[in-house]
Amino acid sequence: MKYFKTALPIDEVKTLIRSLRDDNEDVCLVQIRNKKSIIVTTSETVADQLSENVNFRPIQLSPTDISVIKIVHPIDSIVGNPQLF
């Protein structure tokens, strides 16, 4: 899985993700209360496109990191496949 972080408004991120994929099976967009979003994808195509966009920063997350995020940071919404997060 590939992880990306962005501070773009959630609606812009949703629009961009939809333009890259027709379905949400391999993408999960997690909006955290601090107005940051984490994008999780299993798609190499989506990961490559996000890597080329200056608004998305690749990040490394372990299963422990994900558990901590779920506990410490209030999550406002999850769009796409929630099983990826």
- What domain range includes position 65? 2-84
Q: What is the domain count for the chain? A: 1
User: Does position 82 have pLDDT exceeding 70, yes or no?
Assistant: yes
pLDDT at res. 22: 56
pLDDT at res. 24: 59
pLDDT at res. 23: 63
Averaged pLDDT score across all residues of the chain: 86
| Distance (Å) of CA 27 to CA 39, 41, 47, 57, 72 | 7, 4, 10, 16, 23
